[in-house]
Amino acid sequence: MSAAAINIRKNAEDYKNYLSDLQSWESEIKAKDQAAKTAKPAQTPPVRQAASTAAPPLKQKPGAAGMVGVRTGTSIPITTREDSQPPAQDTDRALIEKEKGNAWFKKGDYERAVSCYTRSMQLDPSNAVLPVNRAMAYLKINKYEEAEADSTQGLKIDAKNVKALWRRGICRRELGKFAESKADFEKALVLEPTNKAVKDDLQKLVEKRARDAEALARPIRRRLEIEEVCDEDAKPIFMDVDSTRSISPLLTPAASRITSFAPKPAATPPQTATVPEVAAKVSPVKRAAPASPARTASPAPRRVITPISPANRTYTVPGTMYEFERDWKSVKRDPAVVYSYLKAIDPANYLKIFKNSLESDYLSTILAVLSTQARNHNDVSFARECMLALSRLPRFAMTAMFLSKTEKQTVRDLVAWMKAEAGAAAELDALLKAYDAQ
Amino acid sequence: MTLEKCQIITHVQKSLAFTAYDVKWVPCSARFVVLGQHARGTGALQVFELNTGDIKLVHEAEKSDAFKCGTFGASALRSRHLATGDFAGRMSVWDLERTEMPTYTVKAHDQIINCIDGAGGVGCAKGPPEIATGSRDGAVKIWDVRQEEKPVAKIAPVEGDIVHDTWAVAFGNSFNDHERVVCAGYENGDVKMFDLRTMSLLWETNVKNGVCSLEFDRKDIQMNKLAVATLEASYNIYDLRTLHPEKGFAHVTQKAHDATTVWAVRHLPQNREIFLTSGGNGSLNLNKYTYPQQRSKKDAKGRDEGVAGTIEQINTASVAEQPVAAFDWSPDKQGLCVFAAFDQAVRVGIVTKLDQYR
């Protein structure tokens, strides 16, 4: 047999032996596993402390004995839980870093200045000037929180450092901590009464405080009483409008809904008059909202906006589909309002508003409204105009196809009524055809 | 695969529902742990057991953050808790019987923990049990489970310097209760060795390509050899017995795996001269290091200088189509190993005929 074949056979044998060996090993190791779980816990040395004094610590100076290898350019200091004392040369290096930081600061590169000061602070934590300088750099890049922390650190090292107090005062002023800022400035003035810069900042603080207080003193609560005019079973409505800064943005859109806002310049004023007109037809019920005084007594501004009766709303004439849809959502509940809303829209504008998107449920609602309301008001011409204009919309044929049998019957009834009232049979027949209701 | 030499055979293959990033044998058992990431981004931890020619899933857990690496190096024989590093920078120690809550956890770094190693536990009985984590934030931190929150030591670049991701970390030289050395490999090719007794940098070098994996041949002896696997298909073996003041440690470089990354380098626990490298081309290379006649010689100035040996490839096997990112030898059975590639499968392998190298 060739050497290769012998080898293959040998290998297969080796593999088989190994596998059977593996079986016995498996059972052995599982037993050991179980035994190990009950082994007694080993004694381990305590947690490692900082560098032991057994051997002199090797520093990272190039060329020193024991320091070898290719310099790779990045230095890696090892820090332990307890930092060892900084030797004398570190204070010198700290000063060098401080000078570097000052140079960057003068050039306007505040970020680099911060990192230089940081390094110098690490080298010499006992120098109060360094954190105060870093605070100044942070101030320049508007990092007030960090600057405050640094000035506080500087003050911890040297409690009488005027610069630190002054800078902390500035930070606190910018952060809105006015009382503390004032305290800092005043303390600085006590230490150095002739310091003009501190005096100026104190003045600025006072002014800023006055400005802010003014803003806060603006009228806080403005309760709007809404009178309910028709709808008997609508819930009592009122609203607490609180114009404090935090929630006014939320309420402004709602607030604007309550008052009738000026109609669009294109439309004429009488549009909005139709709603109160309709409302006037129904017997007005004045309800003075007796529960409101109790509610307004509650101190916290409440953002509860209870549903407003549609009768009190006034709508602008829609100019786009978006406005139509938006208003339609609240309008469609009350046929009377729908009718007046529809009347407000000039049929010539239908094309502009609806374009291609007259949906079949709008059509159904409009037809239903027309059949009840228009008949009530005997407004044939409007009904006819409306239906005609609708039928002229692009893709109306598609929409008409979706009309159910009852709706088509409604159309036929409407047309019959219109014929009875006004004549013009031919036109109305064409209308029937358009609505696919022959 | 050459026929007379050791054969590398895939014994069992099992497909997983997640990508495996690390596999480790549970010491003194026939079980191994697979750590990885589900497609949904959560962490997967599964424990398998060898069972008459097949592997059986005995435990699984899913955690909120994906696991990147794990080690049993710092765990005692009795407990054998697994220390893991995850993608969120959290280092946790788990009891594999009760994985609902970790027994120790700390937010070690603010970026992903790329590598982890343990010493002072089962495989390395001397010195306090410590866990080293290396992260993308360029820091290497040493943790002790007996100390909460704060690391025992932290090795980080100076503030303001460029930060290089730490890709590999390894403990070594832990031959008594005080001595220990941790070696870190970075993405720019830096290899730095720190002495934890004196808390100082012992040696550093740059191997030109990012370091994917580092391993001392043994953690619990005086440092002997260090294997460094890098990108661009090469790996170095350093002879650590002689440190020259200028040239550092002597080394030998070897190319392998067809111009793909050398993902892992692992020494055989039963024989420290044999090691295996796994490559980006899905192959495993079994190699042997031979010492030179004289491990040190005198240089021109009379100082001691190390001499590197030679590497010989024993055999190679192509075991997967994807890079084999994780590999572990069983510490209890010579030749038994487990490895996982990026093809969402874990495999148990057997290397035969290793006895001839005793």
Task: Give the residue from chain A lying closest to B9, CA to CA.
Answer: A15
Residue B143 has pLDDT above 50, yes or no: yes
Q: Within a 13 Å sphere around the CA of B322, how many CA atoms are in the beta-carbon half?
A: 14
CA A75/CA A78 separation, integer angstroms: 10
For helices A196-216 and A178-191, what crossing angle results, to 10°? 160
Tokens of A328: 């339609």
Q: Report pLDDT for B263.
A: 94
Of A30, A48, A67, the CB nearest to B144: A48
Tokens of A119: 């390094």
Question: What percentage of chain A carries pLDDT values higher than 70?
Answer: 68
Top residue of A70, A75, A96, A134 to mutate, by most chain B CBs within 10 Å, is A70
Region A316-336 average pLDDT = 81
Question: Of A13-17, A84-88, A128-132, B124-128, where does the model show the most confidence?
Answer: A13-17
Residue B351 has pLDDT above 60, yes or no: yes
Distance from CA of B205 to the nearest CA of A (A): 5
- In which band, very low, low, confident or very high, does the pLDDT at A75 lie, cut at 50, 70 and 90? low
CA B185/CA B170 separation, integer angstroms: 9
Of B150, B195, B244, the CB nearest to A81: B150
**Strand ranges, E, within A34-184:** 68-69, 78-80
Q: Which of A119-123, A135-139, B54-58, B294-298 has the lowest mean pLDDT?
A: A119-123
Indicate yes or no: CB of A26 within 8 angstroms of CB of B159: no
H-run or E-run covering A147? helix A144-157
Instruction: State pLDDT tens for residues A204-222.
Output: 888 877 777 776 666 566 6
Residue B13 has pLDDT above 50, yes or no: yes
Question: What distances in angstroms separate CA B122 from CA A213, B217, B336, one per listed residue?
Answer: 68, 16, 18
Nearest Cα to Cα of residue A133 among A96, A156, A160, A99: A99
> Buried b vs exposed e over A317-332: b needs ≥16 C-beta within 10 Å?
bbeebeebeebbebbb
Amino acid at A207: E
CA A301/CA A247 separation, integer angstroms: 9
Indicate yes or no: CB of A75 within 8 angstroms of CB of B161: yes
Q: Report pLDDT for A93.
A: 79
Domain B15-357 of CATH type 2.130.10.10: yes
Tokens of B325: 């990112």
Question: What distances in angstroms separate CA B127 from CA B28, B167, B175, one per listed residue?
Answer: 20, 25, 8
Residue A20 CB burial class (10 angstroms; 0-12, 13-18, ≥19): exposed
Amino acid at A304: V
Q: Report pLDDT for A251.
A: 40
| pTM of the entire predicted model | 0.55
For helices A335-344 and A360-369, what crossing angle results, to 10°? 100
Residue with tokens 């002495």: B195
Distance from CA of B117 to the nearest CA of A (A): 16
Is some CB atom of chain A closer than 8 A to the CB atom of B111? no
* CB contacts, 8 Å: A121 with chain B: none
Residue A232 has pLDDT above 70, yes or no: no
Indicate yes or no: CB of A42 within 8 angstroms of CB of B161: no
Q: Do residues B44 and B67 make contact, with C-beta atoms less than 8 angstroms apart?
A: yes
Q: Report pLDDT for A247.
A: 40
Of B78, B200, B203, the CB nearest to A37: B78
* CB contacts, 8 Å: A43 with chain B: none
Residue A57 has pLDDT above 50, yes or no: no
Domain edges within chain A? 224-236+252-261+277-307, 321-434
Is some CB atom of chain A closer than 8 A to the CB atom of B147? yes
Residue A143 has pLDDT above 70, yes or no: yes
Region A225-238 average pLDDT = 58
Residue A312 has pLDDT above 60, yes or no: no
What's chain B's average pLDDT? 91
Q: Report pLDDT for A1.
A: 66
Indicate yes or no: CB of B198 within 8 angstroms of CB of A122: no
DSSP-derived letter for residue B302 is S
**Strand ranges, E, within A18-161:** 68-69, 78-80
DSSP-derived letter for residue B354 is G
Q: Do residues B14 and B62 make contact, with C-beta atoms less than 8 angstroms apart?
A: no
Residue with tokens 């031959």: B175
CA A271/CA A343 separation, integer angstroms: 9
Residue B331 has pLDDT above 70, yes or no: yes
Q: Do residues B311 and B237 make contact, with C-beta atoms less than 8 angstroms apart?
A: yes
Top residue of B52, B95, B195, B204 to mutate, by most chain A CBs within 10 Å, is B204
Tell me the three state secondary structure of residue B107. strand
Residue with tokens 């090993």: A25
Question: What percentage of chain B carries pLDDT values higher than 90?
Answer: 74
Residue B181 has pLDDT above 70, yes or no: yes
Pairing of strands B104-107, B113-119: unpaired
Instruction: State pLDDT tens for residues A392-431.
Output: 888 888 888 888 888 888 888 888 888 887 766 777 778 7
Instruction: State pLDDT tens for residues A81-98.
Output: 444 434 456 677 788 888
Q: Which residues contact A65 (CB under 8 A, 6 or more apart)?
A: B245
Q: Which of A232-241, A314-323, B1-10 has the lowest mean pLDDT?
A: A232-241
Tokens of A199: 């005096």
- In which band, very low, low, confident or very high, does the pLDDT at B301 lie, cut at 50, 70 and 90? confident
CA B355/CA B352 separation, integer angstroms: 8
Top residue of A59, A60, A76 to mutate, by most chain B CBs within 10 Å, is A76
Of A39, A59, A66, the CB nearest to B78: A39
The DSSP result for A73-101, as a single string, is S----EEESSPPPPPHHHHHHHHHHHHHH
Indicate yes or no: CB of B51 within 8 angstroms of CB of A15: no
